[in-house]
A and B are shown apart, each in its own frame.
Chain A
Amino acid sequence: DGGITQSPKYLFRKEGQNVTLSCEQNLNHDAMYWYRQDPGQGLRLIYYSQIVNDFQKGDIAEGYSVSREKKESFPLTVTSAQKNPTAFYLCAISQGVNEQFFGPGTRLTVL
């Protein structure tokens, strides 16, 4: 928080639907990250981006896509190829390898 916003707070998806989660920051940090949190499994890295127009896959990128067209924005799309998308999604930022800060999260539920 304190400059990292995620929207919406709650999101419901029907089977076969793509949905996009928003992450915006006004702290001018270079790096942005997407994590997924499931009960009992901790945080797992989906994608990260260290500079504009560049991003790398994390540990569980299958079924997800991202873009980094602007420094302040790093949207995550959960595609229909993601078979178990119900989870809490967290966006984070950092300046290089320094302290990482998190947004408030988006809870996605598949109906």
Chain B
Amino acid sequence: KQEVTQIPAALSVPEGENLVLNCSFTDSAIYNLQWFRQDPGKGLTSLLLIQSSQREQTSGRLNASLDKSSGRSTLYIAASQPGDSATYLCAVRGNQGGKLIFGQGTELSVKP
């Protein structure tokens, strides 16, 4: 059974710092991995989707990497801003095109 873990559960950094959020999964037979952002009381916003054949994806200040063999993905945020404060979730989809399995998220706070 696939399990997705995100550590730490919460992170506080000063504005301008580069940071890395971690996501690990127990079964490397995945189809793709998706990173989301969630603001309090809101729905999830898709940030990046990485297919199993890809090593990384970039969007603006965000870069997501995928290492299937070790069951790990990282989300790198460059030059963090207070507006980046939110909960970040990763989710993996199994090889059979099954459902998304979510981690519990990392709550990020960027202090001005």
Contacts and interface: CB of A to CB of B under 8 A. Distances in A.
Given A40-B104, A42-B102, A43-B102, A96 B97 contact: yes
Task: For chain A, give the interface size range.
Answer: 20 to 34
Interface stretch (B16-24, B36-44, B64-72): B36-44
Contact of A97 (B31, B46, B89, B104): B31
Contacts of A33: 99
Contacts of A97: 31-32, 93, 97
Given A103-B43, A105-B43, A42 B105 contact: yes
A99 B33 CA distance: 9
Task: For chain B, give the interface size range.
Answer: 20 to 34
Nearest to B96: A97
A27 to B, nearest CB: 13
Looking at chain A's contact residues, the main secondary structure is strand
Contact of A99 (B46, B97, B102, B104): B46
A1 B43 contact: yes
B100 interface: yes
Contact of B100 (A96, A100, A103): A100
A13 interface: no
Contacts of B102: 42-43
Interface in A38-67: 40-43, 45, 48, 58
Interface of B: 31-32, 34, 36, 41-46, 49, 89, 91, 93, 97, 99-100, 102-105
30 contacts: A1-B43, A1-B45, A6-B43, A33-B99, A40-B104, A41-B104, A42-B89, A42-B102, A42-B105, A45-B99, A88-B41, A90-B43, A90-B44, A96-B97, A97-B31, A97-B93, A97-B97, A98-B32, A98-B49, A99-B46, A99-B49, A100-B34, A100-B91, A100-B100, A102-B36, A102-B44, A102-B46, A104-B43, A105-B42, A107-B41
